[in-house]
Amino acid sequence: MNKTTRLRSAILAPKLLVMPGAFDALSARIIEEAGFEAIQCSGFGMSVARLGLPDYSFLAMSDMVAATKAIVDAVDLPVMADGDTGFGNAVNAYYAVQAFERIGCAGVNIEDQVMPKRCGHLEGKTIVSIEEAVAKVRACADARTDKDFVINARTDALAIGGIDEVVKRGNAYLEAGATMIFIDGMTDKSLAREAVKRIRGPVAINVVEGGKSPGEFTFAEMEEMGITRVSLPGTLSMAAIQAMQDALQSVLANGYAGGPGTKLAPFSTVKRLAGFDDVFALEAKYLAGLHRG
């Protein structure tokens, strides 16, 4: 089964699909090793990691495709790209889907914010008209060559027009060819349940720790109410930032590296995740017996 079919089947299955957000190839390999079924690329994490800048459309389409390709190439899991607003209008979105599909992605997020967009858990969001958003979703659906390639139509309408606008847009996006409706910035469990009941297709949300997400919204609760997918776009970025800060504080406090209180992955783990065993095996196969002078 190819990766697009694997991702689409997981989305349509009764079991909740949990997709942690990767921001680079290493974080993607850690997600895979942990046993998750699929990976969501985090535009937020990628922008912070690559540029040290917020999720504000600073990464161009070519930048995002290049960063995503490194993630796709590093793992055997289905990877959903973050297509932001499509990097422009419906025509730009059409070419973006072609580019992401060409590098081996299994799906893509496309959202209805005005460009430049911002993180869905921040204030000050603005969305395009429903007509413009529908055209963009239709262009994305038309652009794919594999009909199992997932079009994850994201709406940020909850903070602007409330649940009625979310439902209106969600159903319109499904009619335009979306595979799934992604409601960003979900603030309340009862609203999530209502969205699932009123939207005529798969519904996804995300959880951002410290953002607008409801506290202690368990995966069991999500699955029970019929949510099909949840992404965790910030979990690994925030964990990495905290771990690096803690490690450096321990270095300063101890006066040397690796002292008391320093929590580090074993060097053997780093080598395994980096693929050194494969390199050493290739060296043994192709370089053994060669004289180096």
CA pair distance 115, 89, nearest whole angstrom: 9
Q: Is the pLDDT of residue 174 over 70?
A: yes
Q: Is 68 exposed, middle or buried (0-12, 13-18, 19+ CB in 10 A)?
A: buried
Predicted local confidence at residue 231, as pLDDT: 98
Q: pLDDT band at residue 292, thresholds of 50, 70 and 90?
A: low
pLDDT averaged over the chain? 96
Q: pLDDT band at residue 293, thresholds of 50, 70 and 90?
A: low
Predicted local confidence at residue 229, as pLDDT: 98
Superfamily in which the 3-234 domain is placed by CATH: Phosphoenolpyruvate-binding domains (3.20.20.60)
Cα–Cα distances in angstroms (integers) from residue 63 to residues 40, 74, 82, in the given order:
17, 17, 12
* Domain boundary assignment for the chain: 3-234, 241-286
Q: Is the pLDDT of residue 291 over 90?
A: no
Once rounded to an integer, what is the mean pLDDT over residues 14-39?
98
Contact of 39 with 73, CB cutoff 8 Å: no
With 0.85 as the threshold, say if the pTM is over it: yes
